[in-house]
A and B are shown apart, each in its own frame.
Chain A
Amino acid sequence: MGSTSTKIKLRTSDQKVFEVEKAVAVQSQTIKYIYENGCPDSVIHVHSVSGDILSKILDYCKKHVNSAAGKEDISPEELYEWDANFVKVDQNTLFDLILAANCLKIESLLDLTCQTVANMIKGKRPEEIRTTFNIKNDYTIEAEEAVRRENKWAFDMLGGVGTMVIEELADDTMSKCVTNTKSRVCVIAANQIVMMRSISKLANKKSIDVYKQPQNPTTPRIKESVKQRNVGTGFIELFFHFKCKM
């Protein structure tokens, strides 16, 4: 890190200027390209990255350059841990890092940040994912069930923690299913009316729910009852009785 090493100047969207060693800056393929094809002395404007984010990114690049060059005595395991701590930031910062890594074309950082987000998705049910990332569910109930059915029947994608769907029941039908206590249950009667009513109280588990039907004045009244019976080892038997009156 002597005075003979080349430095590159970077200006961010909020007018902060960073003077960075070339070896560190060219971890970004974008900056590398600009530097090699433009005037080496001028300032490179990094329009879409703020000072705070660029600062973090440069920390990352510096750490990785130094460890690769042997300038820093850090084992692969320690570097891995350093990376893990690097991404322990709030969600907004994480997304900013992804966007910046994408624009600046820093592949290892893009992989690291995207993997982190993927880890936030793993093991979660769809509604949990929506909550985590504040995403609006734009599926209709029928569309969502169609996807669920296609996933399970065709492509063997098992539902989240056991999704039980009882479909196509005729009026005045007694039906039952056995489900584990973490299941979700969705019931669709033969005349396409979606069963409603939360049975979570009965089932004593908050993760069992039944979809609510949208308000519709022409909807026939539905009388239904749901009973449950404990069959042991975490499984319950649910009895549904439908009666539809037109």
Chain B
Amino acid sequence: MAEQMSDDDERQQSPPSDLDFTSNKARTCIVTGSVSGHSEFQSLYPDQVLENVLENVLHFLTSRRDRNSASLVCKSWYRVEALTRSELFIGNCYAVSPARATARFTRVRALHLKGRPRFADFNLMPPDWGAHFNPWVLAFAKACPWLEKVYLKRMSVTDDDLATLAESFLGFKELVLVCCDGFGTSGLAIFVSKCRQLKVLDLIESEVSDDETDWISCFPEGESHLESLIFDCVECPINFEALERLVARSPSLKKLRLNRYVSIGQLYRLMVQAPQLTHLGTGSFSPSEVAGQGDQEPDYVTAFAACKSLVCLSGFREIIPDYLPAIYPICASLTSLNFSYANITAEQLKPIISNCHKLQVFWVLDSICDEGLQAVAATCKELRELRVFPVDAREDSDGPVSEVGFQAISEGCRKLQSILYFCQRMTNAAVIAMSRNCPDLVVFRLCIMGRHRPDHVTGEPMDDGFGAIVMNCKKLTRLAVSGLLTDKAFDYIGRYGKLVRTLSVAFAGDSDMALKYVLEGCPQLQKLEIRDSPFGDAALCSGLHHYYNMRFLWMSSCRLTHQGCQQIARAMPRLVVEVIRSADEEEVYDRVQTLYMYRSLEGPRNDAPKFVTIL
């Protein structure tokens, strides 16, 4: 049994070097007066012993699932779990208030927040819908001064918010903004000048307004702690000399992604300063206009060869393909290559890709055609993720990639886990082939541009192809469908897509049955986004049993009416049901343009703009 504590008579006999410290509970424990914090305990029952050291123990629990279980054991475990949680993930910023989050978790070091739904990226929602970072930064500034890292996706961040961030958290280290907006270069300037411990500043696909402030010069002088600086989305010129000095005094810099205002000559100078880089975004990858004709070109090949740790390459924002051979030396070690801004042909791709044996992630434009994809399939046997984007995203354009390249990939890249493929035509046979060849698929997003396009060889709907995907890919959690699809496709999804968490649907289905199949059949469904499909109120009602288990449902340009949405709102009081109209539309018609609904602990939000009605 647990050790007995000493009695008082023991203490009387003890020589001076005894470890002795009396608690007011007449028990003795050894304490050196430092920060152990567990100096007292009153009884020796196992569960109370455990409680004393619970903080130490729970530090070793990292998965959200385990933390969830721990918080449900009993009330004291709930308290200690909340104290020891260092990373807080909030998938919908409106599902919980900043006050509630900071009341429960007071020692958070890292905050992940997601705001707008993804379909907002496609201009399906007017701007200023919400997802403001401001109330969050203010609440955390008061309650969690140890916050070091903030990761935001699809949120609105103002210059003031950036200033608050830098001023309120002394040890702030990492800021990652993905698909965010609302701030500009002046906000960045304040932020970087005040964050003296900054290690990571990643601006990814965010909109940064040009306030004509030279923010790069605002990094403090002296050695910087920077490990990652990503600003390839910033659409304004930067002070290159200041950047060069910054890179020179950042010995820990591993990730650097430049914007298109950095020329290839400038890139060279930076690479020479930082051969230790692991991730590089090349900027424009073309010379600046001022480069004279007779100027000596720097030795780009040697510069790339010197970067022996480079594994991830992107950029090429305004590529002149003649310069591509410069990257030959590092192809063999690349695990990630992003050519999604490089309009290059198959011929230009082949010499590069034929050396990329270790490639796991590849993003590319369809300018490489089926032939280019065949070259990828021939070499990149380790490929896990492929994204093929369209150069020309219109409905009726010629499609340079088709089922031919798609099938080639499925045959060559058997370890594929994630695919996003834009094309103008596809066949069921190719999709079925991929379902068989690539059983590890977790993410399958096929975008046949052009509405209601059938299998272009057989003229059949694409039902069987997507059916095969859900049937054969047993690990599938994310699915995006396209092409001509009848209710049958959704029947397959409902029947076999038991692990599907995210589903994107556009211009598909014949009737309410399609949506019913999915809502009744997919128990893991968390995020459902639908546009321009013939689903009405009856279909919406079929999901009543499941909506509290989902993060959100988005339906735009479907057949919903106000009454139908009211019914849902009444039946499910904890669901926030937002009806969104386009900014200039009057609230006359009964037809609902956009429905966005999500579960929330807080009830309707108080920052909704005029074009949003919360039922």
Contact = CB atoms under 8 A, between A and B. Distances in A.
Contact of B2 (A92, A110, A152, A177): A92
A16 to B, nearest CB: 12
A15 B72 CA distance: 42
A229 to B, nearest CB: 11
Contacts of A89: none
B127 interface: no
Name which of A33, A130, A139, A156 has the most chain B CB atoms within 10 A of its CB. Answer: A156
Contacts of A100: 3
A96 interface: yes
A39 B222 CA distance: 48
A123 B53 CA distance: 20
B96 A105 contact: no
A92 B546 contact: no
A158 B18 contact: no
Contact of A158 (B47, B50, B68, B573): B68
Contacts of B89: 155-156
Main secondary structure of the interface of A (DSSP, over half): mixed
Contacts of B16: 38-39, 42
A104 B29 CA distance: 10
Contacts of B36: 102-103, 105
B151 to A, nearest CB: 14
B3 to A, nearest CB: 4
Contacts of B66: 121-123
Given A42-B15, A47-B19, A179-B523, A122 B68 contact: no
Contacts of A157: 64-65, 67-68, 71
A99 B548 contact: no
A216 B583 CA distance: 54
B393 interface: no
A232 interface: yes
A48 B28 contact: yes
Contacts, number: 228
Given A118-B58, A118-B61, A177-B545, A39 B17 contact: yes
A79 interface: no
A155 to B, nearest CB: 6
B75 interface: yes
A121 B100 contact: no
A43 B16 CA distance: 9
B95 A154 contact: yes
A230 interface: no
Given A156-B90, A158-B68, A165-B548, A114 B59 contact: yes
A124 B88 contact: no
Interface in A145-193: 147-160, 162, 164-168, 170, 175-180
Interface string B260-282: 00000000000000000000000
Contacts of B10: 45, 47
Contacts of A98: 49, 53, 56
A148 B100 CA distance: 15
Given A104-B30, A155-B88, A175-B545, A168 B573 contact: yes
B495 interface: yes
B1 interface: yes
A152 B61 CA distance: 18
Contacts of B521: 178, 231
A167 B548 contact: yes
A50 interface: yes
Contacts of A80: none
B38 interface: yes
A14 B5 CA distance: 9
A99 B17 contact: no
A44 interface: yes
Contacts of A153: 95-96, 548, 599-601
Give chain B's interface secondary structure class. loop
Contacts of A232: 495
A13 B5 contact: yes
A55 interface: no
B32 A30 contact: yes
Nearest to B56: A114
A191 B260 CA distance: 61
A177 to B, nearest CB: 5
Nearest to B495: A232
A200 interface: no
Contacts of A125: 69
A117 B600 CA distance: 35
A121 B47 contact: no
A174 to B, nearest CB: 10
A61 interface: no
Nearest to A170: B571
Nearest to B66: A122
Interface centre among A135, A148, A180, A234 (most CB of B within 10 A): A135
Given A92-B2, A121-B69, A139-B75, A47 B574 contact: no
Given A45-B19, A126-B72, A153-B600, A121 B61 contact: yes
A47 B20 contact: yes
Interface string B44-80: 0011011011001111110111111111111101100
A33 B496 CA distance: 64
Contacts of A144: 72
B549 interface: yes
Interface of B: 1-6, 10, 14-20, 28-32, 34, 36, 38, 41, 46-47, 49-50, 52-53, 56-61, 63-75, 77-78, 88-91, 95-96, 100-101, 104, 495-496, 498, 520-521, 523, 544-546, 548-549, 551, 571-574, 599-601
The 8 closest A-B pairs by CB, nearest first: A154-B96, A118-B60, A157-B68, A38-B17, A126-B72, A47-B6, A50-B3, A42-B17
17 contacts: A47-B19, A50-B3, A50-B4, A99-B49, A102-B56, A103-B29, A104-B30, A105-B36, A119-B60, A121-B66, A135-B77, A136-B74, A150-B104, A151-B68, A155-B89, A158-B65, A237-B520
Given A43-B15, A110-B56, 14 more contacts: A34-B17, A43-B17, A99-B49, A105-B36, A114-B56, A114-B59, A117-B57, A118-B57, A136-B47, A147-B72, A150-B100, A154-B95, A155-B88, A168-B571
